[in-house]
A and B are shown apart, each in its own frame.
Chain A
Amino acid sequence: MILSTLLLSTFASGHSLNGTDAVVLQPSAVLLPNGTLEEGASVLLRGDKILAVGKSIPMPPGVKKIQLDGILAPGFVDAFSLRNSSSLQESSRALTPALRAIDGVQLEHPFWEEALQAGITSVHVVPNPLGEGDPYHVLAGWSALLRTGTGFGVDSYLESRTLVSRSRQILGTLSGWEQSREGGPSSLAGIAGMLADAASTVPLSRHGTLAFVDSAEAVRLVRRVGKEQKFATYFLCRGDVASYGGELSASLVGLPAMSDSTFSPRLLETWRRLHTADVRIAFGTDRSGASLRETAMSFAHATGDLAAAMAAITSHGAEIAGMGGKLGVIKPGARADLVLWSAHPLDASSRVQAVMLAGKTAWSAPFQEVKE
């Protein structure tokens, strides 16, 4: 039987909600932080913020109620990406604390619209720790958290797209490249010295620091420098994570999302071990075109933990980007970056029906006949 599905709400019709009005969204179900669906729950919004979530939320007088045919989930957050940025590198010095990821981002690339339609509402762009043929020993700089979609204009991109233009300070400690670069440190000890120097001369981000690591030594080094200089550090993992995963227990780490070419049976085993060791994982698309959602589905299948899989592409990514609790979650105080799905987002047969950015409808799917 062929059924026609109409998206009933203004959420999906392209109509923008008035930013000052309070609105209650009443979807078929809301995706809770534990990965399960709560039927009958509503979400109260005002402007770009979520005010309340639950089955019995306060209803301001005259509030507009919008019924939605689908599952309401937080927008995906890409924890770290180098895509659609030109050369986010600096080759004049070993340590580059002034490098800004935002300066290399190609804002007019179709990627931003494609990402939005895939349910990704925020992308955390970081400087590239690896050079072309001349990898760096150490790199520093600032990441940028961008929201997806189009129609914001190039001139005002810093205001409209950049949530925090200097969200995270990036430190590179890739120990595998020590011998190659002229003028850089020739050992991890040298890297430690430069990092300590950077921390004492450059104002550190109030959002904390991210460090690229590729070995147990690098993890220990960053931890030691962070402790000495009193800054919080999270790790963006490169190289063979299985070989140093034991150093990461109980940490929040960014792992590259999986693609056809980067998959291996060992990768799944590594995920399972990290998950068992209470490592909180956030997936980033890094340099590849890997899919956050496919990665989360594989992660859920490998670990059996739906909540951790969803967090890895939503709330944990937001935390990596310095926006923990404000993005990637449906809870009071969080930004209303919401996606309406036809079923659970980690059900492969589910599709994005509409996307809301900061309380405004940014995209809705064209009418589609659905066979059941």
Chain B
Amino acid sequence: MSAQSAAPTLYRADSAWLSSGKVIQPAYILVRDGKIATVSSGKPMMARNLQVVEIKGVATAGMVDAWANLVPADLLSAQVRPASLQVTDALPVDLPGVDPALAMRVQSARRAGVVAGYLGTGGSEMQQGLGTPATFSASNLPVSTGKPALDLAMGSARMGGSGQFKATKQVSELLSSAQTLQDNLDEYSEKLEKHEKDLEEYKKKLKEFGEKKKKEEKAAAEGPGKNGEEQKKEKKKAPPKRPKPPAKPTPSLTQSWLLDVIHGERVLRLHAESAWDIQEALELQEKYEMELVIVGGHEADLVAEALAEAEVPVVLPVHSSYLTAPSERSFATRYQTLTEAGVKVALASGTGDGSRALMLMRAGNLVAAGADKADVWASLTAIPAAILGFENGPGSLSPGAPADFLLFHGPHPFNASGFQTHSAKGGLLK
């Protein structure tokens, strides 16, 4: 079975979990051009002539990995990553066979139920640079889409390595310098405006000067000549001076990225682990009114109320290094504290293909520990999709979304051994 062809395909699943939380039974999913056209419990009129492809199981949205590392191997293995790193520059051209190793990893992610993700600038640790949300192509390569973000790691995120980690004060200073730059740019705009007026004035004066000079030369040539002293005096009249343009402030790359953050054109993803750093980040968020996401957040639960009040989401990695916490603050406890406080929590692989392959299972462990199934499922789908700026896109089973969805067997999707991924380009993955 394949949805490769341009012809629309109508699937009939036993039921479907919709993004709204509603369950429909049975579920007809019309797929056209690799995207979901309609989802309904009855056969859609527009597809009445199509042959129905029966698929067993419950259809639901695919998972969105809010912190993935599905980038080319050389980017992952680089010991020192430049602070100016832009992930989009490192992504391979979307052609079959261009990066088979990456394609295999993406296919593995798809098999694990992941249909999109955020490609950060670090491997095991997020550092500094521009990352991007991405979906996966027919060649199993990441394709940049959605709202780009600036990754910045705070001191408490350090787990080794030689990356560029910023102390809280440094992050504050960076934002402050970006704000100062903005003030300077505003001042520059004013000066530029004045300069343009001065320039007009100058042109006018220059014209007058030229005309006057021409007139005088003509008069001198035609009329009785002035004596030598008068002519010398005339020569001393200099032409008007051209006004100098104001100097334009030249921002650093980081400053210009942070300016985009301050202008709301880019999300700031701060990798911060300690409660202290997260609290400081929230103060900066309030000061600069920027769109902030906390990534890592090992102690985010300790400031859950503040995060909820500031409506700042948290990306919690399910990697084993994040699961080892004192028993009184286990991963499940931390997750539940955040969700119960009203914080939007996205679960992510964080690093490594292994934690991505185990993402659904570790999410299921949260349910086993008492977390609400719907909350946990939203943490794998709708919440990360919203953080990455996907609307009716990956992470939802709704019209307009890519036809990359999951089929599970049983009462819920956390039975990791009982689900399959449907790929828009490859049908049901074996």
Q: In the complex, which residues of chain B have a beta carbon less than 8 angstroms from the beta carbon of A301?
A: 111, 416-417, 419
Verify A300–B368 contact, CB threshold 8 A.
no
**CA–CA, A260 to B373, complex, Å?**
24
Asked whether any CB of chain B lies closer than 8 Å to the CB of A188, the reply is no
Given that A297-B417, A298-B416 are contacting pairs, would A265 and B320 also be in contact in the complex, using a CB cutoff of 8 Å? no
**CA–CA, A371 to B340, complex, Å?**
13
CB distance from B68 to the nearest CB of A (A): 14
Verify B370–A306 contact, CB threshold 8 A.
no
Q: Which of B101-109, B125-133, B218-226, B238-246 contacts A (4 or more CB under 8 A)?
A: B101-109
Verify B352–A263 contact, CB threshold 8 A.
yes
Verify A348–B355 contact, CB threshold 8 A.
no
**CA–CA, A36 to B80, complex, Å?**
51
Verify B320–A259 contact, CB threshold 8 A.
yes
Q: Give residues 261-317 of B contacting A (CB, 8 Å).
A: none
Among A258, A260, A309, A370, the residue within 8 A (CB) of B417 is: A309
Verify A294–B361 contact, CB threshold 8 A.
yes
Among A260, A297, A342, the residue within 8 A (CB) of B355 is: A260
Q: In the complex, which residues of chain A have a beta carbon less than 8 angstroms from the beta carbon of B104?
A: 265-266
Q: In the complex, which residues of chain A have a beta carbon less than 8 angstroms from the beta carbon of B418?
A: 300, 347
**CA–CA, A249 to B65, complex, Å?**
37
Asked whether any CB of chain B lies closer than 8 Å to the CB of A355, the reply is no
**CA–CA, A264 to B105, complex, Å?**
8
Verify B368–A348 contact, CB threshold 8 A.
yes
Q: In the complex, which residues of chain A have a beta carbon less than 8 angstroms from the beta carbon of B363?
A: 348
Q: Which residue of A lies closest to B108 (CB)?
A: A265
Q: Which residue of B lies closest to A298 (CB)?
A: B357
Chain A contact residues: over half helix, strand or loop, or mixed?
loop
Asked whether any CB of chain B lies closer than 8 Å to the CB of A18, the reply is no
Verify A371–B416 contact, CB threshold 8 A.
no
Give the total of B residues in contact with A, Cβ under 8 Å: 35
Asked whether any CB of chain B lies closer than 8 Å to the CB of A156, the reply is no
Asked whether any CB of chain A lies closer than 8 Å to the CB of B251, the reply is no
Q: Range of interface residues on chain A?
A: 20 to 34
Q: Give residues 337-373 of B contacting A (CB, 8 Å).
A: 352-355, 357-358, 360-365, 367-373
CB distance from A28 to the nearest CB of B (A): 14
Q: Give residues 338-353 of A contacting B (CB, 8 Å).
A: 342, 344, 346-351
Asked whether any CB of chain A lies closer than 8 Å to the CB of B410, the reply is yes
Chain B contact residues: over half helix, strand or loop, or mixed?
helix
Q: In the complex, which residues of chain B have a beta carbon less than 8 angstroms from the beta carbon of A344?
A: 415
Verify B353–A263 contact, CB threshold 8 A.
yes
Given that A265-B353, A297-B416, A348-B362 are contacting pairs, would A260 and B319 also be in contact in the complex, using a CB cutoff of 8 Å? yes
CB distance from B371 to the nearest CB of A (A): 8
Q: In the complex, which residues of chain B have a beta carbon less than 8 angstroms from the beta carbon of A297?
A: 361, 416-417
Q: In the complex, which residues of chain A have a beta carbon less than 8 angstroms from the beta carbon of B415?
A: 344, 346-349
Verify A260–B410 contact, CB threshold 8 A.
no
Asked whether any CB of chain A lies closer than 8 Å to the CB of B414, the reply is yes
Verify A349–B414 contact, CB threshold 8 A.
yes
Asked whether any CB of chain B lies closer than 8 Å to the CB of A155, the reply is no
Q: Give residues 215-268 of A contacting B (CB, 8 Å).
A: 258-266, 268
Asked whether any CB of chain A lies closer than 8 Å to the CB of B205, the reply is no
Verify A262–B354 contact, CB threshold 8 A.
yes
Given that A263-B352, A294-B358, A298-B357 are contacting pairs, would A342 and B368 also be in contact in the complex, using a CB cutoff of 8 Å? yes
Q: Give residues 314-340 of B contacting A (CB, 8 Å).
A: 319-321
**CA–CA, A297 to B321, complex, Å?**
20
**CA–CA, A306 to B361, complex, Å?**
15
Given that A348-B365, A349-B412 are contacting pairs, would A263 and B417 also be in contact in the complex, using a CB cutoff of 8 Å? no
**CA–CA, A371 to B366, complex, Å?**
12
Verify A348–B320 contact, CB threshold 8 A.
no
Given that A261-B352, A368-B370, A371-B370 are contacting pairs, would A347 and B414 also be in contact in the complex, using a CB cutoff of 8 Å? yes
CB distance from B425 to the nearest CB of A (A): 18
CB distance from A267 to the nearest CB of B (A): 9
Besides A260-B354, A264-B353, A265-B104, 13 other A-B contacts (C-beta < 8 A): A260-B319, A260-B358, A263-B354, A264-B354, A265-B105, A266-B104, A289-B320, A346-B416, A348-B363, A349-B412, A350-B368, A371-B373, A372-B373
Residues on A lying within 8 angstroms of B by beta carbon are 258-266, 268, 289, 294, 296-298, 300-301, 306, 309, 342, 344, 346-351, 368-372
The list of the 9 closest CB pairs from A to B, nearest first, reads A348-B364, A263-B354, A300-B417, A265-B108, A349-B367, A260-B354, A351-B368, A349-B414, A348-B361
Cross-chain pairs A/B with CB under 8 angstroms, 11 sampled: A260-B320, A260-B352, A294-B358, A297-B417, A298-B357, A298-B416, A301-B416, A309-B417, A347-B364, A348-B414, A349-B368
